[in-house]
Each structure stands twice: as structure tokens, then as C-alpha cells.
Amino acid sequence: MDDMTMIIEMDQVQKYYQKGKVTIKALNDTTLSILEGDVLGLVGESGSGKSTFGKLLIGLEHPTGGEILYEGNPLWKKSKYVRRKPGELQTVFQDPQSSLDPRMTIKEIILEPLYALSKNERKQKGSYDHLIKLIKRVGLKEEYLDRYPHEFSGGQRQRIAIARALITEPSFIILDEPTSALDVSVQAQVLNLLKEIKEERGLTYLFISHNMSVIKYMCSKVAVLYKGNIVEMGETEELFNNPQHPYTEILLSSLPSLIEENEQKMKGFAETAQSKTENSCIFYEKCPKRTEKCLVGPELELRGKDHMVACHY
């Protein structure tokens, strides 16, 4: 493990929101690392903290506790976001409709991230040749450059967003539900493109999605989030074949799929909800396997190679 470069290291990272007297724990004591060349998948339902995770990394939100290291250097100094190498981290958002400025041409949109770079770099990366090469690489045409976003379909817009993320030649890209607004046939095109680009440029991805099939196809590692806590984490194959946490089991079995012909029984939540206490397991409320032991919450522990689970059972 030591000979591989860590891109991201997170140590006990917290993001709490204060709403009156209530504290909302959007992300709770998260510790994980992303190695160079990894595609880490983040799954969980809405409100589980997936997007908060991404926002902390790109500086849209600041953590209320813990430390995030990017290539060994802290990303946050107090509540100030430090950009050592601008353009190193990029994001592709879910909705290409709202993430592209409708009043800018495609050329302006794609070149905009370069304004964060030094003049020299901007000149070099923003050259016409470089731009054309990039545009063609993501499957768009040269003549599109002077058009506006509304003239494009969802799939094409997402290609534009990908080109915008690539223009600064980043080493790490956060993909926040990049295909959930797209149709199946277009989703496949975009997933293929993302995979090819990763190979060509040796990128590292953080892939946020609620779609387990997409995660399984794209990611080398997966972390399952539930209410701001990582409940299970491991290599994709291992996690899908041998899920350990009850929530992961439910998540995997509730996916309507064409493949599983033999109707395996869906594993359900507990029939009656039990209110949880301060110290109990985060999943106590709905867990079908809960016992008294779970009133004192489990910690993430290693179970098998690189497979972490937060469960007593």
C-alpha cells in the first residue's frame, strides 16, 4: 500500500450544520483515503451525505472538524480553502441543464476554469489546438464552439461539462451523479467516455451515485453512506459479493434488475421503527437484525482484505 500515492486522505472529517438548537450531522467522523488511479464510489440514499462529501473536497463547504489532505497537504486551513495547484481538482455535476451558464458560448464555458491558472499555463492549456483536441476527444464537433447550451441535448451538455473539467488537466475529478439525468442509451456513451479518459490520463475519480449497477460497473472501491456515516467500505467485487452490513444488503437487494431472474427475496427494513439513542448504531431505527448490543454503536472495523464494516454482526 505504501508505494502508492495517496491523493486524498480524510481523517475524522465532520460536517455539522447548526439549525437553531438542533445539530444536523451531514457527515460524521469520516476517515478514508483515495489512492492514485482509484475510482471510489459513494453510494447512499438522498440525505446520506454523498454530495456534502464532494463539496468539502472542492471547497464549497468547509468541514467543522477533522482534516482533509490532498497529496499530503491540508486542503483546509481553518475555514479557508487552500488551492496549491489550481485546477487540480475538478467536478462534473449531475444536472447539465443548470451547471452550464445559458448566456455563455460553449467555448467560453470550457475555457472559463483557466482563469484560475497562471498566465503561462492559461496560454498553453487554452491554445486553440488544445481546445479542439479536447472537444473532439469528448465527442463534440469544432463548429459547436460558438453555440449556446440550450442548443444541445442532455448527453451533449454532459460532454461539454466533462470537457470543462478536463481543460485544466486535473488529476482528480469528482463526478456527482454524472449520468442520473440521462437516458440509458446516452448514459452508456458517457460512462464509456469517462472510463476511457480515466485510462488515457491516469485520473482518479470520486464517483457519487445512487445507482448500484453504475457503481459496480465504474468503481474499483465502494463506500456505503448512511445518514452521514460510512457503514461499509471495500473493493467493489468483495462488497457486492459479500455485503456485511444489513443496510448494504437491503440496498443491493432492492435494486430492480433484469439480471436476477430467480426472484431473490428482497431484504426489508425492520417492521417497526425503534427510536435510536445518542450512542446507538446509526442504523438502529430500521435495522432488521438489531439487538440490545446495538444500543452502543459499532465502529468501523477491518473484516477481510480492505473490507471495513461498522456492525456488531
Provide the binding-site residues for other proteins, judged by CB under 8 A. Answer: 45-46, 153-155, 183-189, 191-192, 195-196, 210, 212-214, 216-218, 236, 250-251, 254-259, 261, 266, 269, 272
**At its nearest, how many Å lie between other proteins and the CB of residue 6?**
23
Could you give the residue ranges of the DSSP H alpha helices within 219-299? 236-241, 246-253
**At its nearest, how many Å lie between other proteins and the CB of residue 310?**
18
The number of C-alpha atoms within 13 Å of 51 and in the hemisphere containing its C-beta is: 11
The residue among 129 and 271 lying less far from other proteins, judged by its C-beta, is: 271
The residue among 76 and 247 lying less far from other proteins, judged by its C-beta, is: 247
**At its nearest, how many Å lie between other proteins and the CB of residue 201?**
17
Spatial distance between the Cα atoms of 267 and 246, rounded to a whole number of angstroms: 9
The residue among 70 and 226 lying less far from other proteins, judged by its C-beta, is: 226
In the chain, count H helices and then E strands. 9, 14
Tallying the residues shown for the chain, one arrives at 313
Cell matching residue 104: 455563455
The residue among 165 and 215 lying less far from other proteins, judged by its C-beta, is: 215
Spatial distance between the Cα atoms of 203 and 198, rounded to a whole number of angstroms: 5
The residue among 68 and 138 lying less far from other proteins, judged by its C-beta, is: 138
> Would residue 213 be called left, alpha or beta, if left means φ above 0 and alpha means ψ between -120 and 50 degrees?
alpha
**At its nearest, how many Å lie between other proteins and the CB of residue 71?**
27
Spatial distance between the Cα atoms of 30 and 222, rounded to a whole number of angstroms: 14
**At its nearest, how many Å lie between other proteins and the CB of residue 271?**
9
- Going by the DSSP 8-state scheme, the letter that residue 279 receives in this structure is S
